[in-house]
Structure 1
Amino acid sequence: MAAAFLVNTIVPHLKARASEPVRQAMLAAAADHLYLTGYMAMDEREDGLAQRYYMKALDLAHRAGDHLTYCTTLRGMSVQAVDLGHTRQAVRLAESASSASPQAGPRMLAFLAGQQAHAAAQDSDRLAALAHLKTAEIAMERAESRAKALGSYNPSALSYHVGQVRFELGDITGSIESLELADRLREPTHRRTRVRYNAMLAERQWQAGRMEEAVATWGKVLDDYPHVQSGRCDDRVRTLISIVAPRTTNPLARDLHDRAKTLLQR
């Protein structure tokens, strides 16, 4: 639907005659739509397609002089690179996003610095990761003293990044604490995010030998899972099944395993 809207509605408007301010605004709107479509493609594991949408979003944002969408897209590409394990590219893209937005407000600064911290931690650059995390935390404190923007980078997202940095630097216990805090701070409507990040939390609880906690967290994941449509969420449920399968002699693990298989086949 997003692609059809792009072809049938946005492209004809971009070809229409208009004053320069109107044309710049149309380019910016098109760039934002391309970024969102790329994000949806990434969420469905169509990573090559997502990259093509992202590259076109960068092109239109540059032509429109839309620094917000330009930086957001670069950051989105860094998130994708981290997810795919392309560490050096993730670091480079996160740094580029930050450099392209020298006058960002505090919430945008936290949004960019949090991703810089995650990418640096995956690259085993402890000093850079902690420095970026400190920048994000200070910026978030400033942002939270102002009016909040719905759906923008928030304390829950920052706690998630703290958890990711801790995990990449070898602190599993600290990572679990940060992800638990992120879940407590998260808006209840953010089901897709809850599925992905609580599944990640459960995996780390299981890794730390906290089986009952992990099973309980995975139970919350499966409560939310039927209400989302996401390839990345599907992957998390498959991972749940593969992790728990060897322990199905335990009744709790067996019930969780069977429930996950049933939901995945829906």
Structure 2
Amino acid sequence: MVERAPNEKLRRLFHETEWTLRQFAQQANRVGTERGAPRRYSAQTVWTWLQGAVPREPESRSLIVETLARRLGRALTLADAGFPQPEDSAHKRTGSDVVGDLVELGRVHVDSSRRRVVGVGLFSVALAIPGWSDVIGRAQALQSNPHARIGQAEVDSVREMVTRLKHIDGDFGGQYARPIAATFLVDTVAPYLRASATGHIRKAMLSAAAMTCYLAGWTAVDEGLNGLAQRYYVKGLELAGAADDHMAYCHILRGVSVQAANLGYGVPAARYANAAAEAVPSAEPRLRAFMAGQQAHGYALSRARTEALDSLFETERAMSRATSPASNTPGGYNASTLAYHTAQVRYALGDVKGSVASLREHFKLRDALDSRRSAVIFGGLMAERQLEVGHLDEACGTWSDVLDAYPTLYSGRADDRVRAAVELLAPHRKNATARVTHERARALLAQKSAARPSV
């Protein structure tokens, strides 16, 4: 019988958590349930891991690492926990086959059954996000198809498609745009990356592909497929590095921060936002505001009050110096976005009334760059916070506007805001206005569920 050596790496992480064996097992079981794969780990199971036993299934090892990462607030790898890397290529770090990775991601996106969607849908704080030095120029040379050649026209067509998909996503939601973006990656972008091209065109197409991945990730976030979105974001970061496109890399990394912040993970949100801000290749004021506003939100969620307020002040100062059009800035950062970030910072720091005031300012400042979906989501947030400070009638009025715009949206995040309306208004149904708003929200959710597009 071979005697196992204790897993010292796992032991160190376990001691850092300050959990008991039973608490570790309970938390791992909870993560497993979230993933749709319930576990029945016990204190004895954890003890065997610490003694060197390696769970047979790669998914179990991943679950353990995710549990530890959530507790410790930082990304961890299998190696950090003393576990071997699986042989299955699906669990290897992507990057060795650019086109193959894109096709695999696209097919998961388009062909997923509901069971498979659940498997790729969960956010992981353990995900290792590659730094700029990890991705720049490191992609293997692409195998070219001698029978196909691309030029600037093909690059322009991909960029234009990304722009159009952004509008579809903002106007109708990720549940509409997601399948289109995935199919576009598989059927158009992947073959373009295989085609012959000059060095300049090759890099331009890699950059366009990176931003297509970013968009696909953003649409996946909107549908609630946060794990899949992370995979798209990582692939986008790698493609940006292969293209030597520093700006695309920073834009995508900021998107990773936005995703973490929207899910309430303040520490990783601040870390990703800081990394994006540090790596940004330009000090242009509006671009600086684009980065600093997200830093402020991440810091606020992390309860780092001083840093959050400092970053918010930096955002305001940068916006006061901005002269370039908002449309020239990634994300179209404008005065209404600054007001939204101010609202989020205030709310995270406990100033609910101030948050409502900032959201009102946001709606006064909105322009053509602001999407219909964001109006519904931010309006829902404002109504929830109006109710939180005791303004029931005002909240119902805001929710009424939200419900007017909701029927044509197919967005998981918009659905969440309407569900919140149903839950929060339920205790107030003795009020006639609240009862009408509550019943209307319930009916619209039921209609939306029946009319949801199949993908």
Normalised-by-shorter TM-score class: over 0.9
Note if contact 1:191-1:227 (Cα within 8 Å) is conserved in structure 2: no
**Cα distance in 1, alignment partners of residues 262 and 426 from structure 2:** 24
**Cα distance in 2, alignment partners of residues 247 and 146 from structure 1:** 47
Which one-letter code corresponds to 2:204 in the other structure? A
**Cα distance in 2, alignment partners of residues 9 and 250 from structure 1:** 54
Which one-letter code corresponds to 2:439 in the other structure? D
Partner of 2:381 in structure 1? 200
Counting only pairs closer than 5 Å after superposition, residues 99-178 of structure 1 correspond to structure 2 as: 99-143=278-322, 145-149=323-327, 152-178=332-358
How far apart are 1:146 and its partner, in Å?
3.5
Partner of 2:431 in structure 1? 250
Note if contact 2:326-2:333 (Cα within 8 Å) is conserved in structure 1: no
Matched position secondary structure for 1:265? helix
Partner of 1:72 in structure 2? 251
How far apart are 1:147 and its partner, in Å?
3.4
**Cα distance in 2, alignment partners of residues 250 and 4 from structure 1:** 48
Partner of 2:55 in structure 1? none
What's the CA shift string for 1:172-204, capped at 9, x where partnerless? 111110011001111266210010001000100
Matched position secondary structure for 1:48? helix
Instruction: Work out the number of aligned pairs and report it.
Output: 265
How far apart are 1:227 and its partner, in Å?
2.3
**Cα distance in 2, alignment partners of residues 70 and 148 from structure 1:** 20
How far apart are 1:104 and its partner, in Å?
3.6
**Cα distance in 1, alignment partners of residues 287 and 199 from structure 2:** 27
Partner of 1:240 in structure 2? 421
What's the CA shift string for 1:13-45, capped at 9, x where partnerless? 111121111000000000000000100000000
How far apart are 1:102 and its partner, in Å?
4.3
**Cα distance in 1, alignment partners of residues 181 and 317 from structure 2:** 37
Which one-letter code corresponds to 1:98 in the other structure? A
Note if contact 2:418-2:441 (Cα within 8 Å) is conserved in structure 1: yes
Partner of 1:82 in structure 2? 261
The counterpart of 1:29, out of the listed 200, 208, 215, is 208
How far apart are 1:221 and its partner, in Å?
0.5
Partner of 1:41 in structure 2? 220
Note if contact 2:286-2:324 (Cα within 8 Å) is conserved in structure 1: no
Partner of 1:7 in structure 2? 186
- Structure 1, unaligned stretches of length 5 or more? none
**Cα distance in 2, alignment partners of residues 104 and 199 from structure 1:** 34
Matched position secondary structure for 1:229? coil
**Cα distance in 2, alignment partners of residues 104 and 10 from structure 1:** 31
Name whichever of 223-232 and 149-158 sits farther off: 149-158
Which one-letter code corresponds to 1:164 in the other structure? Q
TM-score (structure 2 length as normaliser): 0.57
Report the identity percentage: 49
Matched position secondary structure for 2:418? helix
| Structure exhibiting the larger radius of gyration computed from Cα positions | 2
Note if contact 1:198-1:218 (Cα within 8 Å) is conserved in structure 2: yes
How far apart are 1:108 and its partner, in Å?
1.3
The counterpart of 2:372, out of the listed 183, 191, 198, is 191
Structure 1 outlier segments of 4+, above 6 Å:
none
Partner of 1:19 in structure 2? 198
**Cα distance in 2, alignment partners of residues 148 and 82 from structure 1:** 23
TM-score (structure 1 length as normaliser): 0.97
The counterpart of 1:180, out of the listed 360, 381, 404, is 360
**Cα distance in 2, alignment partners of residues 147 and 97 from structure 1:** 21
Matched position secondary structure for 1:149? helix
**Cα distance in 2, alignment partners of residues 130 and 256 from structure 1:** 36
Partner of 1:227 in structure 2? 408
**Cα distance in 2, alignment partners of residues 215 and 29 from structure 1:** 43
**Cα distance in 1, alignment partners of residues 342 and 264 from structure 2:** 18
Q: What's the C-alpha RMSD, in Å, of the aligned pairs?
A: 1.2
**Cα distance in 2, alignment partners of residues 76 and 102 from structure 1:** 17
**Cα distance in 1, alignment partners of residues 366 and 409 from structure 2:** 16
